[in-house]
Amino acid sequence: MIIKNDPEQIQNYLSDASNYKGFAESVYIPETEAEIIQLLKIFNKNKIKATVTGNGTGLTGARVPEGGVVISLEKMNRVLKLNSEEKYLLVQPAVILKDLQNFVESKNLFYPPDPTERNCFIGATVATNASGARTFKYGATRDFILSLRIILPDGEIISIERGKHFASQLKALLKTESGKEISFTLPRYKMPNTKNASGYFCKENMDLIDMFIGSEGTLGIITEIKLKLIEIPKNVLSCVAFFSDEADALKFIDEARSTSLQKFKQPLFTNNPLNARALEFFDVNALNFLRQDYPNIPDNAQAAVWFEQDFDKDEDIVMNNWIELLKEHNCDEELVWLALDKNEQEKFHEFRHAISWKVNEFITLRNLKKVGTDTAVPAIQFNSFYNWLKKKVTQANLNYVIYGHFGNCHPHLNMLPRDEEEYQKAKAIYARICEEAVRLGGTISAEHGIGKLKRDYLLKMYGEGVIKEMAQLKLIFDPHKILNVGNIFDEKFLGTT
């Protein structure tokens, strides 16, 4: 185990990609599960707060400590087993997602969840139930978790396999490896019917593995993950289409979304001609941000859509269907970039990633915090929600970009305040947008999680009663309040005893 105490050496562990900053005394870097258990037992006994950290790519301050110590899992980075027959991969939490995906793809297998920042640790994607462009077709990280091995704050081990441990209504019972029984009641609330990464996953008769996925490290430390893999798609159509009118781009997405979703419901028609796996949007401001690095963006482009479809055969039919849909929405096919190979597909992914990266650079240079929404709403509400939020930010005269997973009705509005005054203005708008998303039956965080930056908004989303129930759930697993305290809800909800 490596222990770092030098303030210079631990500085990198005290912030994340949101530029939220914290403080801690030391950083512990265990190299084995036994060392994690040893650490947790000591911290638990002495009531020392420990914040678990991944690779620092998060956007909500979840890995940022507010005192105590940091446990970095960076050395727990081995691939333990690949089973190509049964199509699963067993890994430790600090394997980098990008390396993991490249590895399985070299074996003709595929791990679909693709958060835009792929330098994250796989364990962290489980802790936040991360999602990405392909979530539109394949779902979020949750849908690919077969089993987890978790160390609880008292050092007990829970191994939980999907399909084996269910709640009875809201009553639940789990057994640790040593035979200790943990019985508890799940919080009662209704989760939004959208892509969601806001608070614990809770519903009646649920599979209890889902409670740990997306729990942001508040219940235990994940030491092993078994991931479901699928066969690698034979072909991928990946295009970036430019539109001279934003309204056309939005209508194009609407139709591609509804056509694709209809097809998903009909498994017999798996090789459907139009069946998107990703539908990503860029507004004109986002494109202007990118022009310097991508001079080939057409001058008159007012919006762009990056779409992908995987398919087995009938390439011509697939392409012609997309061409027809593009034409219907006034997109010139000459202004549709097409990736001819895997390298170019990666470049389109970089094109998408470049915006979030550039936005983060912009705020870091100005020493401001990011004011970026992660809200999602039901499809039926989406267009009016989009127009409403755009009007809101334009009226406030703020610089902004809008991009995101429009297939999942999940826009990222990033406000770019130039000074403290604008920052305060942006925060007020942010709060208003969260309220509106909740009012429409949506969520305040669809993929980034709550961490420390969004807990006040989660409180508004569910109300104090539910947050208190969530805190009670945490206390069952972490009675001494040591693990990732401050994530999801404020420490005060854990009580003073």
Partner 1 sequence: MKIAVCVSHVPDTAAKINIGSDGISIDPSGVTYVVNPYDEFAIEEALKSKEKFGGETVAISLGGDANKETLRKALAMGIDNAVLLKDSGYRDSLSVSKALAEEIKAQGAELVFFGKQSVDFDNSVVGQLTAELLGYNCISVAVSFVLDGNKIICEREIEGGKEVVETNLPAVITAQKGLNEPRYASLKGIMAAKKKEIIEKIPAAATNYVEVLTMKKPASKQAGKIIGTDASAVPELIRLLREEAKVI
Residues at the site binding partner 1, with contacts judged by CB under 8 A: 239-241, 294-296, 316, 319-320, 322-323, 326, 333-344
Q: Are 238 and 348 in contact (CB under 8 A)?
A: yes
Rg of the chain on CA atoms, in Å: 22
Q: Closer to partner 1 at the Cβ: 45 or 342?
A: 342
Pairwise CA distance, residues 424 & 442, whole Å = 24
* Minimal distance, residue 335 CB to partner 1, in Å: 7
Q: Which is nearer to partner 1, 319 or 475 (CB)?
A: 319
Instruction: Return the number of the residue (351 or 362) whose C-beta is nearest partner 1.
Output: 351
Q: How far apart are CA 309 and CA 325, in angstroms?
A: 14
**242 closest CA partner among 282, 288, 270:** 282
Q: Report the nearest approach of partner 1 to the CB of residue 333 (Å).
A: 4
∠ CA 169-173-177, rounded to 5°: 155
| Residue that has been written with the tokens 């519903």 in this structure | 203
Three-state DSSP at 308 gives: strand
Which of 161, 169, 158 is CA-nearest to residue 206? 169
| Residue 24 C-beta: closest distance to partner 1, Å | 24
Q: Which two tokens stand for residue 201?
A: 């996953």
How far is the C-alpha of 434 from the C-alpha of 461, rounded, in Å? 8
CB closer to partner 1 out of 241 and 355: 241
- Angle between the N-to-C axes of helices 455-462 and 464-477, in degrees from 0 to 180, rounded to the nearest 10: 120
Nearer Cβ to partner 1 (336/471): 336
Rounded to whole angstroms, the Cα distance separating 47 from 35 reads: 18
Q: By C-beta, is 326 or 433 nearer to partner 1?
A: 326
Smallest separation (angstroms) from partner 1 to the CB of 397: 34
Q: How far is the CB of 292 from partner 1 (least distance, A)?
A: 11
CB of 321 to partner 1, least distance (A): 11
Of 155, 198, 105, residue with least CA distance to 437 = 198
Nearest distance from residue 350's CB to partner 1, in Å? 13
Query: 179 or 295, CB closer to partner 1?
Result: 295
